[in-house]
Amino acid sequence: MISVATLTYRRESILEEAVQSFLLQNCPDCEMVILNDHANVEYRSSYDNVRVINSNHRFPSIGQKLKYCFSNCKHNYIYRLDDDDLLCEGAIENLKEAITNNPGYDIYRSNRTHYFQNNNYKGLSDSINNGNCYTKDYVATIEDWNRSCDEDIHITYNHNAKIYNSPKQTMIYRWGMETYHISGIGAGKSHDEYFDIADSAGSKTSGDYKLKPHFKQDYYRMIKEQQ
């Protein structure tokens, strides 16, 4: 069983697409855990296996936020899916197959991801997070989480993890879409600088907000048409 950990901050329009990609996996034994730390909005889910944690305080860094989200996942395998990315068709089954057939690894990831730019499919690409799934035991070995840009590199490559790279894709990595991207801002800035950009570019929604999972485009069909 797998937990999908998703951080979000003032981007409910793309978060709803990420939730839809999870629901389309049709895996009731898995869960999606969404962590929102914008105090002025509370997201609500009507799906039993989509759990939202609304924090009334902002985490001091993205790494600390990720650590807290991971700690609230109940399954032994934790897949990181940012709110602007999507699970591809059959992603969870591909991941379960990799874990079952290749036991004993700390991290399971794909060797490529489906890459979309401004919601146009560009083919396969390679990134730090190609759909990275961490074991709870491995996550427990990480001590320094106080990072806001390069936390993916740190938690994946700086702790001597035993990594399995699968030839089957699990994630749709999206760039653009008229929203902010922390990785696009660049490393070396303070946590507050990253947070200020998220505040200025994010949604102004406030109060209770019931998530309405849906796709704006048929991403799965777009991928099939170019394969």
pLDDT of residue 51: 98
Please name which of 4, 14, 5 lies closest in space to residue 181, comparing C-alpha atoms: 14
CATH number at residue 67: 3.90.550.10
Q: How far is it, in rounded angstroms, from Cα 86 to Cα 45? A: 18
Return the SS3 of 158: coil
Give residue 186's pLDDT.
54
What is the predicted pLDDT for the residue at 147? Answer: 84
Of residues 145, 132, 137, 133, the one with CA closest to residue 62 = 145
Would you say how long the chain is, in residues? 227
Q: What is the pLDDT of residue 150?
A: 80
pLDDT at 140: 96
What's this model's pTM, rounded to 2 decimal places? 0.91
On the CB side of 79, CA atoms within 13 Å amount to 28
Domain span at residue 213 reads 2-225
64: its two tokens: 């600390």
Q: How many domains does the chain have?
A: 1
pLDDT for the residue 37: 95
Average pLDDT of adjacent 10-residue blocks, the chain of 227 residues: 95 96 96 96 97 95 95 98 96 97 98 94 94 97 86 93 97 78 55 65 86 96 91
> What is the spatial distance between Cα 38 and Cα 66, in angstroms, rounded to a whole number?
15
Contact 214, 180 (CB under 8 A): no
For position 91, what pLDDT does the model report? 98
The span from the CA of 111 to the CA of 168, in Å, is 8
C-alpha–C-alpha distance, residues 166 and 35, integer Å: 27
